[in-house]
Amino acid sequence: MATNGWKENVEETVRNIPREVKQYSFQTEPIPRLKYNDPEVEALIRNERPVILTDTDLVKSAQHWNLDYLYSNIGSGKHTVYSSFKNKFLYYDDKKLPNFPNLVLQTNHEEMTFQEFTEKVRNHKTGDKIYYLQQALNDSVGKSIVVDFVKFNWSWITEQQKKYKWGALTSNLLLVGMDGVITPAHYDEQQNFFAQIGGYKRFLLFDPSMFECLYPFPVYHPHDRQSQVDFDSPDLRRFPKFQDLRGYEAIVGPGDVLYLPIYWWHQVESVPNRGMTFSVNFWYKSGSDEKISYPLKPQQKVAMMRNIEKMVTSAINNHEEVPHLMRTMVLGRYT
């Protein structure tokens, strides 16, 4: 069943998970893929279940965004570009780095113009650093980019925002990655419509109840919200429940929009040997809390655990004391 992306026939096969993508130890089910007006969509989003929407035309006005076009039209402002000798770009929060002065990071980021970024990509040779541009779209971009941006399907997406009672749109992150870049498993605290413009990305998703299988770093750590488990070589002595992990996966291509629910874990892999990837996400604050009903949902428990961790860390005023306190509270008493 062919659903319409922008370059249908040639690329339809890629969406069916080409098996040059990595194999992992856990099992996955496919993420449903539906036309935006399919009656099943509403129940999925309402229940915070992921779904790939086709034919939204959300970012159709940007379908010509590629390296050449952005080079000539995005302007001469600076953009945040991550670089690494490996293809994994584990996120870190700069503000939390002072807590861990000895932390060794595999990735750096620097501010550069799109033209400088393009040069790095074009001149790339095997063994060179890999670059991944991740920049919130702002008013520093050139005129024709603004024109494309204004023509996004804002009426459709704003209708969704209202229907599901989400809060404000906080940002649109533009992601331009070299072939094969990977964003390791993490969760975000916002609702996300993730729009693919160019190239193919494989999404591995895990529902919020998988928290205990994915062992996120402590909240005060720069890698807060990121899994500590290396999917390529999981340390099952430290992280035994990783063996119970079950997920969902799909490949998104040009024209696809993934609804990525708040607190859902995701790992994002640009499909190897398929070239660069171009994406724009739409991050929305969660709705103002409706009446709480019990039992709490897994994502509400995650939010609660975050609050407890933050409270303890702030009250004790030294993050190095937190692990001992937490262990004293739990081990042999709640275990």
Ligand X SMILES: O=C(O)CCC(=O)C(=O)O
Nearest C-alpha neighbor of 284 from the set 155, 165, 186, 201: 165
* Smallest separation, CB 278 to ligand X (Å): 10
Specify the residue, 199 or 319, whose C-beta has the smaller distance to ligand X. 199
Q: Quick one: what does residue 161 bind among Fe ion, ligand X, none, with the CB cut-off 5 to 8 Å set by partner type?
A: none
Residue 223 interacts with, from ligand X, Fe ion, none (CB under 5-8 Å by kind)? none
The structure tokens listed for 323 are 């692990």
Q: Tell me if 280 contacts ligand X by CB under 6 A.
A: no
As measured in angstroms, the least distance from the Cβ of 211 to ligand X is 17
- In the complex, the smallest distance separating the C-beta of residue 88 from ligand X, rounded to whole angstroms, is 11
Q: Name the residue nearer to ligand X (CB basis): 56 or 279.
A: 279
175 near ligand X (CB under 6 A):
yes
Closest by CA position to 200, among listed 27, 327, 52? 52
Given a contact cutoff of 8 angstroms between Cβ atoms, the answer to whether 136 and 100 are in contact is no
Nearer to Fe ion, 239 or 283 (CB): 283
Q: CB under 6 A: which stretch of 28-36, 61-69, 95-103, 186-194 binds ligand X? A: 186-194
Tell me the residue nearest to Fe ion as measured from the CB.
Answer: 188
Cβ-closest position to ligand X: 183
Which of 167, 220, 191, 207 lies closest to 297, judged by CA?
207
Classify each residue of 276-287 as buried b or exposed e, where b means 16 or more C-beta atoms within 10 Å of its C-beta.
bbbbbbbbbebe
Residue 183 in the binding site for ligand X (CB under 6 A): yes
Q: Which does 267 bind (CB under 5 to 8 A by kind): ligand X, Fe ion, none?
A: none
Distance of CA 133 to the CA centre of its chain: 14
Rounded distance between C-alpha atoms, residue 266 and residue 78, angstroms: 28
236/86 Cα distance (integer angstroms): 23
Tell me: does residue 194 bind ligand X (CB under 6 A).
Answer: yes
- 132 closest CA partner among 283, 282, 268, 284: 268
Q: How many residues bind ligand X (CB under 6 A)?
A: 10
Q: How far is the CB of 257 from Fe ion (least distance, A)?
A: 15
Give the binding site for Fe ion (CB under 5 A). Answer: 188
CA–CA separation, 157 vs 42, rounded Å? 13
Please give the residues from 50 up to 109 whose contact with ligand X meets the rule CB under 6 A: none
Applying CB under 6 A, the span of 63-71, 188-196, 205-213, 233-241 interacting with ligand X comes to 188-196
Length of the chain: 335
Our finding on whether 263 is near ligand X (CB under 6 A) is no
Single out the segment in contact with ligand X by CB under 6 A; choices: 3-11, 76-84, 150-158, 187-195. 187-195
Q: Helix (H, G, I), strand (E, B), or coil: what is residue 242?
A: helix
> In the window 2-31, what residues touch ligand X (CB under 6 A)?
none
Q: Which is nearer to ligand X, 12 or 188 (CB)?
A: 188
Q: CA distances (Å), 153 to each of 9, 38, 60, 199, 290, in order?
A: 24, 18, 8, 20, 28
- Measured CA to CA, the distance from residue 240 to residue 30 in angstroms comes to 25
C-beta closer to ligand X: residue 57 or 188: 188
Residues that bind ligand X (CB under 6 A): 175, 183, 188, 192, 194, 201, 266, 268, 279, 281
